[in-house]
Structure 1
């Protein structure tokens, strides 16, 4: 899947640092919009100390991403 296709989807993400986030992807920033620094998605976790706080993740930060069907 392309990164922008996760927009507005509920996902579970495992990062390369073994952090886990479950929440909704609320933003996608393309490489062009980020001055060629790379594309990224922003997820808002549902639980934990980062609950409802934006977490920006670059593709290199993500080990796995899974869409959760409601």
Structure 2
């Protein structure tokens, strides 16, 4: 296995932690609607980026099979 794969998992973990912080911020009862919208956009963007990363990893792993 390439050393890049474990590193990508570490990157995914870091991004998930960042997204967790955004989701927690979204739970605040005193957020204005525009703030909630910004937080939602950040979550959607982050999840889409994670999906792209994981798809790339999956393709890489399938290509590495003997």
Task: State the TM-score, normalized to the length of structure 1.
Answer: 0.24
Structure with the larger helix share: 2
Structure of larger gyration radius: 2
Relative contact order (C-alpha < 8 Å, sep 6+): which is higher? Answer: 2
Greater share of strand residues, 1 or 2? 1
